[in-house]
Structure 1
Amino acid sequence: MLAQSTHTAEDRRKALYQRGRTTIFACKADPRFSYSLYVPEDIKVDGEPNLLVSVHGTARMQFQYREAFTGFGQYNNTVVLAPLFPVGVCGDGDADGYKYILEGDIRYDLVLLSMVAEVEEMLGCRFPPFMLFGFSGGGHFTHRFLILHPEKLSAASIGSPGSVTLLDHDKDWWVGIRNLKELFGRELNVQALRAVKVHLVVGGADVETWEIQHKKDGRRFMEGANDAGLTRIDRNNSLRSSLEKQGVTVNQDIAPGVAHNMEGIVPYTIRFFRSVLRQQECQASK
């Protein structure tokens, strides 16, 4: 609802900047990073509204990732949070740091959790475990966040990551998870992981390999970097197999005729998230 002259200054400020498609907010915990929101104008903040986090790919089209879910948010009492992790925050031009969670002294998983806490404070609400989506570079982030913080998530939709971390205790991060505790202070929580609704989605024509093959002189090359398969479809299947071996139920969509394109896979993600909310509603009504 638009601000009216009869509203208080605080009501007008909220209506203009904290409802609908919001402005961009710097993250208080680390102002190098920012986020924008979609907040339904009639949001019910006293009933634990849903939260959907939508993580951009390498091109950083932040608003595109918010807009993809505004309709979903409007009709499902769901706040949409779209973070922005800029290129080169360490001054070295690195475009990929957020994808692997750890870059220098930056923990991107903790940055996101700080953003979530700030939005809760801003809106005066508490979110239940949230839905997380990411495409391409965001798909990197999403499945690695899932590995580290399954207890924070109700659902994860992992879109077309170029490289995947498998649940392999014989290989180090990022190829495997052998040194998870050493790097992140956390063990793999298999029980919590099995409780998350997991969705893998990739375009059926997403077969170009020029961007995803790790070369030996590359910044993040390590032994086994290319072992999960040649294409994003192959790597999608490898991730599915790795999760299923740990007892995780995985939903998978391979979108016919879709290349490496976020708009082509989002309808599958929306269908998945709608099914998750329906299941939650059915359980709550019992």
Structure 2
Amino acid sequence: MSGIHLDKTTRLMLTGKTPFFASTSDQRFSFSLYVPKCHKFDGPRLPLLVVVHGTRRQIGGYLSHLQGFSEEHGIVILYPLFPAGIIDPRDVHNYKNLLYHDIRFDLILLSMLEQAAAIWRIDANRFFLHGFSGGGQFAHRFLYMHPTRLRGVSIGSPGSITHPTTDAAWPTGLADVDTIFGVVPDFALIARVPVQVLVGEKDTDTSMISRDDVAGRTRLERARYLHTALAGRGVSSRLDIVPGVAHDGIKCLPAVIPWLAGQLSP
């Protein structure tokens, strides 16, 4: 928006907690941002963190808890909203596997970043990504498909794992991703992305996750599995098990924030 006049009200609305904006590529989806006070519409591009919600689509808590991090480190935070009930009014899972009917949620997200970069001075080419629970499912699958777009990825407590092998079809494994997505995951590129896998120490309730598989019975076991499985493909990740915490993304943020801060350090 450099060179475009913005009145005082618009500038205020586009700084701090912004309104939700409809995605111009598909208006069923939307996004909001937190833009720190250091942002200038004619200034340098700021780093970007994308936070992907869990199944309940509760974004407000992340907006509140990450505001200080944004201001301290001069990083813009974008929160996509992928509503439940798209196509099937009973569906709550749509975005987690990246592909749902004819919707490519990874491409929807990338189009949101392009749209946002036309308004705010952000580095949308390479960004940080964090997701917890359903967002953690999205985050590690996005890593497989788009490693060159990521400066770092924090994968929180995914209830379902895509194994980084070709032993099974998508979304359990990667056997047919070239046919589905037109991409063969490049683990040499993936290995260049800093990866955090995190989970609560008490995240052992199985009532809301899929049936047992080799990844383990609980989210705790599955996070450990993903950490080990990535290592088996040459991808070094940091495993953080948050003491005393069950399945709670907000309570896991004290492990996410210092990790992200470390990635932002020179």
Structure 1 runs (4+) deviating above 3 angstroms are: 124-128
Cα deviation digits, residues 61-81 of structure 1 (max 9, x gap): 122223332211112121100
In structure 2, which of residues 206, 216, 222 is the aligned counterpart of residue 235 of structure 1? Answer: 222
In structure 1, which of residues 181, 185, 199 is the aligned counterpart of residue 196 of structure 2? Answer: 199
Could you tell me which amino acid in structure 2 is paired with residue 42 of structure 1?
C
User: Which residue of structure 1 lines up, in the alignment, with residue 29 of structure 2?
Assistant: 33
Cα deviation digits, residues 123-167 of structure 1 (max 9, x gap): 155435111001111111111111111110011001111011011
Equivalent pair of 2:44/2:121 in contact (CA under 8 Å):
no
Cα deviation digits, residues 105-125 of structure 1 (max 9, x gap): 000000100111111001155
- Uncovered stretches (5+) of structure 1, i.e. residues with no partner: 1-7, 215-224, 282-286
Q: Greater CA radius of gyration, 1 or 2?
A: 1
In 1, Cα distance between equivalents of 2:7 and 2:176 = 49
Could you tell me which amino acid in structure 2 is paired with residue 111 of structure 1?
I
The alpha carbon displacement at 1:251 in A equals 0.5
Cα deviation digits, residues 215-247 of structure 1 (max 9, x gap): xxxxxxxxxx72210000110011111111111
1:259 paired to 2:243? no
In 2, Cα distance between equivalents of 1:245 and 1:167 = 9
User: Which residue of structure 2 lines up, in the alignment, with residue 247 of structure 1?
Assistant: 234
Alignment coverage as a number of residue pairs:
262
Where does 1:140-179 land on structure 2 (aligned, <5 Å)? 140-179=137-176
Could you tell me which amino acid in structure 2 is paired with residue 18 of structure 1?
L
Structure 2 counterpart SS, 1:23: coil
User: Which residue of structure 1 lines up, in the alignment, with residue 39 of structure 2?
Assistant: 43
User: Which residue of structure 2 lines up, in the alignment, with residue 275 of structure 1?
Assistant: 262
In 2, Cα distance between equivalents of 1:30 and 1:263 = 29
Could you tell me which amino acid in structure 1 is paired with residue 7 of structure 2?
D
Where does 1:65-104 land on structure 2 (aligned, <5 Å)? 65-104=62-101
Structure 2 counterpart SS, 1:263: helix
Structure 2 counterpart SS, 1:156: strand
The alpha carbon displacement at 1:25 in A equals 0.4
Where does 1:108-127 land on structure 2 (aligned, <5 Å)? 108-127=105-124
CA RMSD across the alignment: 1.6
Structure 2 counterpart SS, 1:151: helix
Cα deviation digits, residues 41-88 of structure 1 (max 9, x gap): 221564331000011111111222233322111121211001111111
Structure 2 counterpart SS, 1:47: coil
Structure 1 counterpart SS, 2:118: helix
In 2, Cα distance between equivalents of 1:58 and 1:151 = 26
Structure 2 counterpart SS, 1:49: coil
Could you tell me which amino acid in structure 2 is paired with residue 179 of structure 1?
D
TM-score (norm. length: structure 2) = 0.94
User: Which residue of structure 2 lines up, in the alignment, with residue 222 of structure 1?
Assistant: none
In 2, Cα distance between equivalents of 1:126 and 1:154 = 11
Change in Cα spacing, 1:128 to 1:113, as seen in structure 2 (3 Å) is: closer
Equivalent pair of 1:140/1:163 in contact (CA under 8 Å):
yes
- Uncovered stretches (5+) of structure 2, i.e. residues with no partner: none
